[in-house]
Amino acid sequence: MGTTNGINILNLDNETFRSYTHDPNDSTSISHPNVMHFYEDEKGFVWVSTYGGGINRFDPATEKFLRFTEGNSNIPNNGVYGALPDKNGFLWISTNNGITKFDPKTFEFRNYTVDDGLQSEEFNGGSYHLAYNGEMFFGGIKGFNSFIPEEVSDNAYIPNIVITDFKIFNESIQVGESSPLKQEITKTSEIILEYWQNDILFEYVALHYSNPTKNKYAFKLENYEDQWRYVGNTRIATYTNLDPGEYVFKVKGSNNDGLWNEEGKSIRLIINPPWWKTNLAYASYAFLFLFGLFSVDRYQKVRIKRLEQRKAQLALLQAENQRKTEELEEARNLQLSMLPKSLPQVPHLDIAVYMKTATEVGGDYYDFHVHLDGTLTVVLGDATGHGMMSGMMVSIMKSLFMADRSSKELKSFFNNSSQAIKDMQLNRLMMALTCIQFKGNTIRIANAGMPSLYMYKNRSAELLEIAVNDLPLGAMREYDYEVREEIVETGDTLLMMSDGFAELTNSSDEMIGYTRTAKLFEEAAAKSPEDIVAQLNYFGSNWTDGKENDDDITFVVIKVK
């Protein structure tokens, strides 16, 4: 007999009871103590319906229960009221979420809902009956259903699968000569994209409208994933940050009765690599490297030759010094030519920039880019070394930034730039770089070997040091750079700087240092960016007693309006 606390079996021979209760630590015990119905099949198995634990198969020989619940099967609900057998050996089970047809051999469930003609998806306990002619009756909260199981057939139509839309960055792509789509998406078999067009979305549909809410779908992207993604009736497939390469997008679907079109629909997808990873780019890197070696070698030979001639030709000393002066001036001019000619005009930001080059060019660099959606990207860097080599590094960094400016992905920009510089094999020549990206009230920060970013919070009147201590670009071949996010508010002020100011020394050879720099910035943070820069410069000039700086000094001060 079934109870609300398990099963009791009476042995008529010795008038004793054997009880079976739910044990949460034993997966072979009954799944739930509230028993609703029994049915013994022709093999001697007893099917036990429970309210809260699905249906169980009890084996009297082993006294073990095999559970079928929402957690391990496709049964529509754990509230099971009763199970009736049909002439083909299937069990028809009433639940709190429709009727399901169960195959005891394969353990498969075929679920039926209101969309299939049920009076309601909720049935009642004790409301089931199997008539002599095989007709079944199940009672529910809105009446009852009756049917002959052999007359219930599944839909045999295999639906065609159609891809209906293709989007990049959530925008539908239209057909055009300059578009990735040369014809309608329904007729397209191949799509070629650029490396930055790597955030894509496909929409698709199974052309079967008997009960489209029960159509099911699965998709996968070959060369990206091995397994199909079964997504129910969802008709969207999204992929983000795809690497350059060749892929095949495949989608398949079923009709309302679960009959699948296994052939489905497919589209070949090609994402071209960025220019700095093409064969031509690598050839250019090799040429620049060889040119750099040739230039350095030539410079050294000329220098050695002139040093040997100095004793005999003192008159050439002035010309040599003049030549060096002109070369440094050219390096300085090259460095300055890489800088933006004007500051960006962003409505909610007030920006001030200051750069003072060293006697021997130090390699500082800053730049801006305003994206079409108003996102502002600010970079500030410091090339290793001095003179022409640092100027060359600045020009390389400028090229990488210009090439990537249409993208807003800081992580990929830093990773790819570091790889490109390392692949150029410039020995110890590297680029320290910090970057802030403003979008609304959110900033994204990446830092490759530069001093920390200081942010003065106007609301709390506190100074934050945002330290992202990653390696300079080009330090390692494969390095994953971190990107931090912070929230800014009106009145907040940010300070980006190179190491030149903090390393200024006084007559006692004492550096200003970063602690003193942070304090100076905190004291001046309430002022305008221009006044903050002026106050820092005034302190630096007094600290060095007017002595020329040995390294470039660069500030970028940004205040949120």
Residue of 530, 537, 472, 455 lying closest to 504 (CA atoms) = 537
Kindly tell me the burial class for residue 127, based on how many C-beta atoms sit within 10 Å of its own C-beta (0-12, 13-18, 19 or more).
Answer: middle
pLDDT at 324: 53
pLDDT on residue 432: 95
Task: Supply the DSSP string of 290-331, one letter for each residue.
Answer: HHHHHHHHHHHHHHHHHHHHTTT-TTHHHHHHHHHHHHHHHH
pLDDT category of residue 306 using cuts at 50, 70 and 90: confident
What is the reported pTM? 0.45
The token pair at 502 is 């903090």
**Measured between alpha carbons, how far is residue 180 from residues 192, 224, 245, 265 in Å?**
6, 21, 16, 19
When pLDDT is cut at 50, 70 and 90, the band that residue 155 belongs to is confident
* Mean pLDDT, rounded, of the chain: 91
Three-class SS state of 25: coil
Structure-token pair, residue 509: 């050879």
Query: In this predicted model, what pLDDT tens digit does every residue of 508-535 receive, in sequence order?
Result: 999 999 999 999 999 999 999 999 999 9
Of the candidates 387, 428, 413, the one whose C-alpha atom is nearest the C-alpha of residue 481 is 413
- Render 449-497 in DSSP notation, one character per residue: SSPPEEEEETTTTEEEEE---BPPBTS-SS-----EEEE--TT-EEEEE
pLDDT band at 62; cut points 50, 70, 90 = very high
Res 334: pLDDT: 61
Query: Mean pLDDT over residues 142-167, rounded?
Result: 90
Structure tokens at 480: 């994953």
Q: Tens digit of pLDDT for each residue in 355-411?
A: 998 866 658 999 999 998 899 999 999 998 776 778 788 889 989 998 887 787 999
Pairing between strand 190-193 and 260-271?
Answer: parallel
Dist CA 221 CA 193 (whole Å) = 15
Give all domains of the chain, ordered by start, each with its CATH number: 2-151 (2.130.10.10), 160-273 (2.60.40.10), 328-560 (3.60.40.10)
pLDDT at 466: 95
pLDDT of residue 392: 83
**Predicted local confidence at residue 328, as pLDDT:** 53
Residue 11: pLDDT band (50, 70, 90) is confident
State percent of the chain over pLDDT 70: 94
pLDDT of residue 548: 85
**What does the pLDDT read at residue 12?**
87
Quick one: pLDDT at residue 336?
A: 63
- The span from the CA of 544 to the CA of 538, in Å, is 10
> Per residue in 199-244, pLDDT tens?
999 999 999 877 788 899 999 999 999 999 999 999 999 999 999 9
Distance separating alpha carbons of residues 151 and 147, to the nearest angstrom: 8
Question: Is a pLDDT exceeding 90 seen at residue 322?
Answer: no
Rounded to 5°, the CA angle 263-269-273 comes to 160
Q: Specify whether the backbone of 258 is left (phi greater than 0), alpha (psi in -120 to 50) or beta.
A: left
Residue 492 has pLDDT above 80, yes or no: yes
Task: Give residue 321's pLDDT.
Answer: 53
In 96-210, where do the E strands start and end?
A: 98-103, 108-112, 123-130, 136-140, 143-147, 160-168, 171-172, 190-193, 200-207
How far apart, in whole angstroms, are the C-alpha atoms of residue 555 and residue 561? 19
| Of residues 314 and 406, more confidently modeled | 406
Q: Which two tokens stand for residue 54?
A: 């699905």
Distance of CA 510 to the CA centre of its chain: 46
Band the pLDDT of 329: cuts 50, 70, 90.
low
Model pLDDT, residue 237: 97
Give 105-129 pLDDT, tens digit per residue: 999 999 988 888 899 999 999 999 9
Looking at residue 19, its pLDDT comes to 93
Q: What does the alpha-carbon distance between residue 116 and residue 152 come to, in Å, rounded to a whole number?
A: 10
